[in-house]
Structure 1
Amino acid sequence: MTSPQLLVRTLAPSEVFYFRSGVYIGYATQVRGTLDSAALAQAFEILRKTYPILSARLVLDPTNQPSIEAAPGLPAAIDEVAGPIDDPLFGLPELKGHAAAIHTVHGNGDTAVVTLLTHHSIADGHHSLYLLSELWKLYTACAAYTATAPQRHDFPYSLEQLLDQRGIDAVPLTDLSDLDAFAAFPGVDNPPHPPERVRIRLSAADTVALLATGRSHETTINGLVSAALLAATAQSRGIDIDTLHYTYPVDLRTRLTPRIGYPEGTNVLGIAHFVADPHSDDDLLALARSVTSTLREGLATGELFTGSDQFMSSADELLTSAEGLSRIVVSTNWGVIPRFATPADLTIEDFLPAMPNTLMSPLAAHVITTYDGQLTIDTADSAPDESRLLADHLHNLARLAQ
């Protein structure tokens, strides 16, 4: 419980889901060189003052409603350990409702991985990537002793508030209430080992070729990766592709008028839902175009703003059994990861997502990013051969650019 004087607002339905499932997302930067821990702590403190949502806590209010609590005196959740840098969450302590945290793992020599963790209730992927970019700008300034006083931003709005401001009387995501179903599956609360990271990465040349394939065949990177992912999942699990339910979030910021800045909203997301036609994995280009056209139709009709009845009815049915969960495929496309500012004595060598284990772990998302010109898909444990098949399909699609 908390004091009413500190409450900012109760969480909206699009935010409550992540509160109940305890989802934090990590944005990890693997670095080499001189990492100044004091400068990093100072940069994070400035970031928290600039964006007070990062100093907040997620709590239950006196009426037992999930809420945002202002906590300006709350010490920053920042820690560092020695360990393997290929595990950005090695030694991660309990986050205890903090809206954001910094976790650093120091490896051998001058290597480390610095991870910004944000609770999904207060920031989606694009919002958090913006905050990560700001963190590295501030770190660079702090390391050079040139950091200036921040201009304070307001707390971000929920998507429901942003839609209401624009005269849209709808919410894109209702609360999925049956989260207790996840607790019934082995290993959710206390997994015997951390989920194994599975990573598929294309070369820069293959990434350029895949982009060219999309342009010449009237689809997108999202469509091509989605088609390859659906085909690989169906083939590796030995099931028909039309039995899979594919869902992914869509950033609505640039699709609303006026547009919404990254830090203005928490989860400015619509939920796309797609079910393939039977045997559509026989032609991945046609399947990719179908994914793309279904998304465009959902945007044109407003379904991504009003919510998909098909998605919600499917979720109610599929989330209640292990067999149902095996039919769900989830991706999230974070797009092109920008080059982050760093001092001359520090280089960011790689970027990767990091997701602590939660009740939602059985629905591990395939995170699609492009960093340093290379398309990458990261996920946790997958079915046997799924990653190999996915890589094969992507390479084959890239060859169609000619």
Structure 2
Amino acid sequence: MTSSQLLVRPLAPSEVTHFRFGLYVGYAARVRGKLDSAALAQAFAILREAYPILSARLVLDHVSQPSIEAAPELSAAVDEVTGPTDEPLFGLPDLADRAAAIHTVRGSDDTATVTLLTHHAIADGHHSLHLLSELWHLYTACVADELTAPHRHDYPHSLEHLLDQRGIDVGPTVLPDENVLGALADVDIPSTPPERVRTRLSAADTAALLAAGRSQGTTINGLVSAALLAATAQSRGVDIATLHYTYPVDLRSRLTPRVGYPEGTNVLGMAYFTADSHADDDLLALARAITGNLREGVATGAVFAGSSQFMAAATAQGDSINPAEFLSTMVISTNWGVIPHLPTPPDLTIEDFYPVMPSNPMTAVAPYVITTYDGQLTIDTSARSAETSQLLADQLHSLARAF
């Protein structure tokens, strides 16, 4: 460590597992038109000045405690390669534990894919989407030569700190035990990026599904979750009751005072749900049960306890549990909601948005990422189950058109 590198703080338990496995999440925009590489690098440099966490890296301190280290002298990770734009991580270099990076893949025509990568230990999905929107605002301003000095933000706090500030005691954070971590560590990481499987509804079907949820006492998240569980059970040929479903819950709007997107790293609780046998016979009832379970978890504080519910289920059988078998029963989703507006100059158009995750043991159970972009509900995954995704699409279309 050099004299210019200072430890900001140790990572909290809610952040440590992401550090242990070096988990990054990518936010990719496929663009068409004139992409100015110099302006993109300038925009990222300004973003790093406004959000100093982006100039940090994750390290072990002198007592081997995972920590955030300020490293402003570390050059910004902005790289560009020529390759297939449908592979946004093509040619991705080693990120060397940096907190964030920009990776661009240029096609042979006027298309490119620009990906903002953030280390999951320093930002969750909603935090990173805020940063993504800021990046494109800054890029557009750089191209137009209309920059104004952005507001400088403090380093984000951990969930534990934010809860403590508000007098909320959820007890000690329960992290995955060594058996589960060992099962993850033993996962073979494929040498090639896993193929993405996408389920997308039209804007009209998305609006219809949203209206159906409201009229039936549930939400888009409840409907997608119900359809996902049913599709998974059907494609695997198992009773839906054998599946363990979990998904992160953004706590920012559920805390008083509310937490701004860049104020916290992983401001997430975890919802945990298991269905009754044959619950997939009535998807609307199942969706309402999932929504009701979430509301109850928020009311009782169970959701605020993070992964504790889930880990209690994972260890319920004591030493007899087979972590690999338990992982095979998991279904994970994450709902990023509506993607914020991403402005561009007149000569550049963002044609699509999609999430990407570099191969990592933490993604051994590939999550289903739920987003709404340009009015269209989309579920992306690399779970290698085209059958599940087709069943999911069929069920969501049926629900959207039933009301």
Query: Structure 1 length normalisation: TM-score?
Result: 0.96
Matched residues, percent identical? 70
Instruction: Describe the superposition over 1:139-186 as per-residue Cα deviations: whole angstroms up to 9, x where unpaired.
Output: 01111112123332110000000001001122684322432221323x
Q: Shift of residue 306 of structure 1? A: 2.9
Give SS of 2:361's match.
Answer: coil
Alignment of 1:14-93 (within 5 A): 14-93=14-93
> Quick check: 2:302–2:309 contact (8 Å CA) kept in 1?
no
Matches within 5 A, 1:327-342: 327-342=329-344
The answer to whether 1:199 aligns with 2:215 is: no
Amino acid at match of 1:292: T
Residue identity in the other structure for 1:268 = V
More deviation in 320-329 or 292-301?
320-329
- The aligned residue for residue 281 of structure 1 is 280
Indicate yes or no: 2:326 matched with 1:324: yes
Distance in 2 (CA, whole Å) between partners of 1:146 and 1:371 is 27
CA distance in 2, matches of 1:171, 1:90: 42
Partner amino acid for 2:364? P
State the match for 1:146 in structure 2: 146
Q: Deviations over 1:315-352 (max 9, x none)?
A: 34699543222200000000011221111111111000
The DSSP-based 3-state class of the residue aligned with 2:163 is helix
Give the structure 2 partner of residue 167 of structure 1: 167
Once residues 277 and 56 of structure 1 are traced to their aligned partners in structure 2, the CA distance between those partners, rounded to angstroms, is 46
Q: Contact (CA 8 Å) 1:79, 1:103: kept in 2 or not?
A: yes
Equivalent position of 2:385 in the other structure: 383
Q: Is the 8 A contact 1:160 1:170 kept in 2?
A: no
Q: Is the 8 A contact 1:127 1:262 kept in 2?
A: yes
Question: How many residue pairs align between the two structures?
Answer: 398
Shift of the 315–108 alpha-carbon distance from structure 1 to 2, 3 Å rule, reads farther
**Is the Cα–Cα contact under 8 Å of residues 55 and 72 in structure 1 kept in the other structure?**
yes
Structure 1: gaps of 5 or more residues: none
- Report SS of the residue matched to 1:363: coil
Match of 1:331, SS state, is strand
**Cα distance per residue 1:228-267 (max 9 Å; x no partner):** 0000001101111000000000000000000000000000
Distance 1:4 1:139 in 2: 29
Does the C-alpha gap of structure 1 residues 333 and 172 become closer, same or farther in structure 2, counting only changes over 3 Å?
A: farther
Distance in 2 separating the partners of 1:317 and 1:236: 26
Counterpart amino acid of 1:46?
A: I
Summarize the Cα distance change of 1:111–1:173 in structure 2 as closer, same or farther, 3 Å threshold. Answer: farther
SS of residue matched to 1:117: strand
Conservation of the 8 A alpha-carbon contact between 2:245 and 2:330: yes
Aligned-partner Cα distance in 2 for 1:64–1:223: 41
The answer to whether the 8 Å contact 1:3/1:62 transfers is no
Alignment partners' CA distance in 2, 1:218 and 1:336: 20
Letter in 2 for 1:56: A
2:222 and 2:78 mapped to 1: Cα distance?
38
Distance 1:182 1:209, change over 3 A: same
Measured against aligned partners, the alpha-carbon deviations of 1:176-208 in whole angstroms (never above 9, x if no partner) come to: 2432221323x32xx143211000000111111
Partners of 1:366 and 1:68 in 2: how far apart?
29
SS in 1 for 2:32: strand
For residues 57 and 307 of structure 2, the distance between their equivalents in structure 1, rounded to whole angstroms, comes to: 31
Could you tell me which amino acid in structure 2 is paired with residue 367 of structure 1? Answer: V
2:239 paired residue number: 240
Q: 1:384 to 1:5 in 2, by over 3 A?
A: closer
The one-letter amino acid paired with 1:243 is T
Q: What displacement does 1:308 show?
A: 5.7
Deviation at 1:310, TM superposition (A): 3.2
Assess if the C-alpha contact under 8 Å between 2:269 and 2:307 holds in 1: no
- SS in structure 1 at match of 2:141: helix
Distance 1:3 1:226 in 2: 50
Q: Is the 8 A contact 2:173 2:308 kept in 1?
A: no
TM-score by length of 2: 0.95
For 1:387, the aligned partner's letter is: S
Aligned to 1:271: 270
Letter matched to residue 211 of structure 1:
L
The residue aligned with 1:135 is 135
- Give the aligned residue type for 1:119: H
3-state DSSP of counterpart to 2:271: strand
Structure 2: gaps spanning 5 or more residues: none
Distance 1:32 1:292, change over 3 A: same
Cα distance between partner residues in 2 of 1:309 and 1:64: 25
Is residue 368–residue 376 contact of structure 1 (8 Å, CA) maintained in 2?
yes
Q: Secondary structure at the match of 1:385?
A: helix
Letter in 1 for 2:399: L
Asked whether the 8 Å contact 2:197–2:386 carries over to 1, the reply is: no
Partner of 1:371: 373
Q: 1:326 to 1:258 in 2, by over 3 A?
A: same
Equivalent position of 1:356 in the other structure: 358
